Structure 1
Amino acid sequence: MKFNSRGLISLDINGEIYDYKLYQSLESLSRTKSQRKSAKELNISHTVFNRRLLKAEDKLGFKITEKVGNGTILTRNGLDLLEEFQKYLIKIENTANLNIAGGHISTGLLESIKHPFNANIYSSSDKDAFELAKRGAVDILTLDDPLIAYERDIDFTPIAYDYLVLISSPNCEEISKISDLNDLNFVNVTGSAQRLAWTTLKHYDISYNIKFKVNSQFDAFKLVRNSENLHCFLNASYFKGNELLKYDTQHVISLVKVNEDKSEVDEFIDYLLNDGQESIENQGFIPL
């Protein structure tokens, strides 16, 4: 998603105004996971970029970014702030463009591939994006997990396949068979396709313990890698890990048409199902 200052969007939080420059910074950092890359993308110095984030944190009273290895990611509070900006922008955005909202995995895919459409893409959770779709605020809803559509008998269009890999703490012993998962401690990511992993473990009578619950797969990854004897199932399109449950957890990345009257909606979906499949595969997903 590309930004300019045309909207000059701002949010009023506890009497403090946060403008589109912070929005640009958060959106870019959510994709690049690097302050230097984001600064280059926004054509500002790394010092200016870092100072912008620190100033916002000082005004907000909480951390919106944190270091992970050689990179920087958004904290849960940072992600929440970005989502608030995105929801507000949806309300004021020029409707000539396609407005797309959905889960972090599916929107991340659409942001990463090249396509000939003017699209504004907003990343949140499947649940939050679904609420926006119900209000008619978006043209297309993307789903990391089709469960919402299944439960409500909503038609959806698969555009790719993904599956879950097992991520383990560095000190953990190698896991080579399903029985090795018995009595292990896990991180649960709310609203993700992890439900397929839990269903599989129950099917094989594997006992497991949910020690932590988080809202982001990136938060889960960080927690596991910085802990002892902790595990998590995450999307293979974004994370490398043990493929023990690959075939048990394969699922579709899908789209739901919200605005049936906009011709670009069908054109966009048709592109993804045909010319866009090679790009989808290049991003680590399994094409149709």
Structure 2
Amino acid sequence: MKFESRGLISLEIDGEIYDYKLYQSLESLSRTQSQRKSAKELNISHTVFNRRLLKAEDKLGVKITQKVGNGTVLTTDGLGLLEEFRKYLIQIEKTTSINIAGGHISTGLLESIPAPFNTNIYSSSDEDAFELAKRGVVDILTLDDPLIAYERDINFMPIAYDYLVLVSSPESRNVESISDLEGLDFVGVSGSAQRLAWNSLRHYDIEFNITETVNSQFDAFKMVRNSKNLYTFLNASYFNGNELLKYDTQHVISVIKVNDDKPEIDEFIRFLLNDAQKSIEKEGFTPMG
């Protein structure tokens, strides 16, 4: 699909115009994963909400939502469309606030910290956030996994430590040792620090299968909780699980300064490295001190 921006918050996709109402619907649905809850949140009927999505799918020629259990989630195409709206919002927003984009875990952490700064925080994958940073439309890039920075020799500033835990359904086979992971099926999460878990399993000569790959740790969590045959590794700061690979998967949550034009950016980063460390610890991360 070819994207072009038009108007205040409208996108032209293959010659068709999609306005702010669709963006609102996708943004709400990505959080609630329920059409009825999103319709209530937007103060419209469920019928109107559903018709809005179906009309967009008809024009696009692709599915942007799918049923999962009793809820509704965005498909890969739906997530891509929402991401384009978010990128455009960042580009058109003229503000003195600090614009931050990054992975779901790192941006979730920043959103949870009380801070004396005006910030606009946009959550996506590390890769998509990095693309925004390259285009110069954000002030700070946050990374759930420093791999992107390592690969490109970019200086980054660690603000916390995290590690991965093994997550599964209560009905799943009990895992007590690394050898118990042999032959298991896993759900992968694109752009996450899971590479550390996969590298560790290979180091221990464990055979395993990645049978599904999703874009969000929260989607992976739902999948494994609803299947006794699937497992995944997720960030310990957000999920409870088996700490079998705790020391193998410890990694830093980091920030990268993109813009040099706002003095408050340096002040914000100093805040994260000092005064915010207690709040970071309360959120389940290991502080830098």
Instruction: Judge same fold: TM > 0.5, yes or no.
Output: yes
* Structure 1 residue 68: Cα displacement: 4.7
Residue 13 of structure 1 pairs with residue 13 of structure 2: yes
Aligned partners of 2:43 and 2:278: how far apart in 1? 30
**Matched position secondary structure for 2:271:** helix
Aligned partners of 2:285 and 2:99: how far apart in 1? 23
Aligned partners of 2:98 and 2:46: how far apart in 1? 32
* Structure 1 residue 44: Cα displacement: 5.2
Q: Are the equivalent residues in 2 in contact too, given 1:143–1:254 (CA < 8 A)?
A: yes
Residue matched to 1:84: 84
Q: Which amino acid is 1:250 matched to?
A: Q
Aligned partners of 2:71 and 2:277: how far apart in 1? 30
Q: After superposition, what is the alpha-carbon deviation per residue over 1:185-242, rounded to whole angstroms, capped at 9, x for unaligned?
A: 2222222101111122122222222223333323333333344522211122333322
Between 207-216 and 244-253, the greater mean CA deviation after superposition: 207-216
Between 76-85 and 33-42, the greater mean CA deviation after superposition: 33-42
Between 176-185 and 96-105, the greater mean CA deviation after superposition: 96-105
* Structure 1 residue 274: Cα displacement: 3.1
Aligned ranges for residues 29-178 of structure 1 at < 5 Å?
29-35=29-35, 38=38, 42=42, 49-68=49-68, 72-169=72-169, 171-178=171-178
* Structure 1 residue 286: Cα displacement: 2.9
For these two proteins, the number of residue pairs brought into alignment is: 282
**Matched position secondary structure for 2:84:** helix
Residue matched to 2:26: 26
Aligned partners of 2:107 and 2:118: how far apart in 1? 15
Residue 195 of structure 1 pairs with residue 195 of structure 2: yes
Q: Are the equivalent residues in 2 in contact too, given 1:101–1:122 (CA < 8 A)?
A: yes
Residue 43 to residue 287, structure 1, CA distance change in 2 (3 Å)? farther
Residue matched to 2:212: 212
* Structure 1 residue 47: Cα displacement: 5.9
Aligned partners of 2:12 and 2:235: how far apart in 1? 35
* Structure 1 residue 51: Cα displacement: 4.8
Residue 264 to residue 9, structure 1, CA distance change in 2 (3 Å)? same
Q: Are the equivalent residues in 1 in contact too, given 2:173–2:228 (CA < 8 A)?
A: no
Residue 90 to residue 223, structure 1, CA distance change in 2 (3 Å)? same
Between 253-262 and 263-272, the greater mean CA deviation after superposition: 263-272
Aligned partners of 1:152 and 1:145: how far apart in 2? 13
Residue matched to 2:4: none
* Structure 1 residue 184: Cα displacement: 1.5
Q: What TM-score do you get using the length of structure 1 for normalisation?
A: 0.84
Name structure 2 gaps, 5 residues minimum.
Answer: 1-6
Q: Are the equivalent residues in 2 in contact too, given 1:68–1:222 (CA < 8 A)?
A: no
Q: After superposition, what is the alpha-carbon deviation per residue over 1:54-107, rounded to whole angstroms, capped at 9, x for unaligned?
A: 443444344434455565443322221111111222221214222211112212
Name structure 1 gaps, 5 residues minimum.
Answer: 1-6
Q: Which amino acid is 1:167 matched to?
A: V
Identity fraction in percent: 78
- Aligned CA RMSD, in angstroms, stands at 2.7
Q: Are the equivalent residues in 2 in contact too, given 1:76–1:216 (CA < 8 A)?
A: no
Q: Are the equivalent residues in 2 in contact too, given 1:163–1:247 (CA < 8 A)?
A: yes
Q: What TM-score do you get using the length of structure 2 for normalisation?
A: 0.84
